[in-house]
Amino acid sequence: MQIKYLKIEGEYIFLRGSKNILTPNGNKLKVCKRRHAELVVQELNKQKENKNPNSLLNLTLFSCNLNISEKNLIKNKILEILEFDCILCRFFDDNKLIKKMDRELNSYIKSFEEKFHTKLKKIESLLQKSTIHNLLFKEFLDQLNRFDLTVFYKLSILTKSSILSYFFIKNKIDHNTLYKLANIEYTYQQKEWGLTDDQKKINNYDIRMLKNISFFFKNIN
């Protein structure tokens, strides 16, 4: 039986026959944009399992399935990543690398500090974390809708940077710039020591996942 969408009170729900399609938590599968709804229906009607966790359909299902407790867990994870944010790391012996990171990342760190009235401490040891007063940032996360929160969470996990994920959410950088900035140290080391076939596969996978999340983000806004 074909699945269709129906607009009700400004949102699009999905029906199989006359029955609502529900998530595992019993929430209705629903979206805000018509184009998003059209893409979800296309995927659902393929009747073929998509194993990509960051496909538009699976990110939509993930978002709609979230309950309050799960949303809080996600926010806490984003805050945890912020304390060890990869763009704050400076525990390297290579001064050339440190200068490169300062040159390309410090402006983002400063803008984040100014936006959320906080002070981010550079991480100069593997055992250290940044001391952050993150009340305003927590309030920002609380205001995100379920789809934007999913994007923020997925990007933070993938890039290990809540700071850069924030600038993506605010449309200040695209997924290519996000990848480049989050991987300055990694790319630098690859140029120094070479790149294995396994590393190439990991790089390509990460880039593909970022593209998928970016496509999802484009269609929810």
Helical spans, DSSP H, in the chain:
34-45, 56-65, 68-83, 95-116, 135-143, 146-159, 162-169, 175-182, 184-193, 197-220
pLDDT-derived band at 127 (thresholds 50, 70, 90) equals low
Look at 139 and 133; give whichever has higher pLDDT. Answer: 139
- The bridge status of strand 11-16 relative to strand 3-8 is antiparallel
Task: Give per-residue pLDDT as tens, 26-46.
Answer: 999 999 999 999 999 999 998
pTM of the predicted protein model: 0.93
Q: Three-state SS for 218?
A: helix
pLDDT-derived band at 200 (thresholds 50, 70, 90) equals confident
Q: Where are the domains of the chain?
A: 3-48, 68-220
- Show the tokens assigned to 60: 């939509």
Residues of the chain above pLDDT 90, percent: 79
* Residue 129, pLDDT above cutoff 70: no
Which pLDDT value is given to residue 128? 60
Using CA atoms, how far residue 32 sits from 40, 79, 221, in Å, is 12, 27, 9
Considering only 61-65, 108-112, 144-148, 193-197, which range has the smallest mean pLDDT?
A: 193-197
Residues of the chain above pLDDT 70, percent: 96
Considering only 13-22, 39-48, 53-62, 123-132, which range has the smallest mean pLDDT?
A: 123-132
CATH of 68-220, one of 3.40.50.300, 3.40.50.720, 3.40.50.1260, 1.10.3580.10: 1.10.3580.10
pLDDT-derived band at 130 (thresholds 50, 70, 90) equals low
* Residue 137, pLDDT above cutoff 80: yes
Task: Give per-residue pLDDT as tens, 139-178.
Answer: 999 999 999 999 999 999 999 999 999 999 999 999 999 9
Considering only 59-68, 89-98, 185-194, which range has the smallest mean pLDDT?
A: 185-194
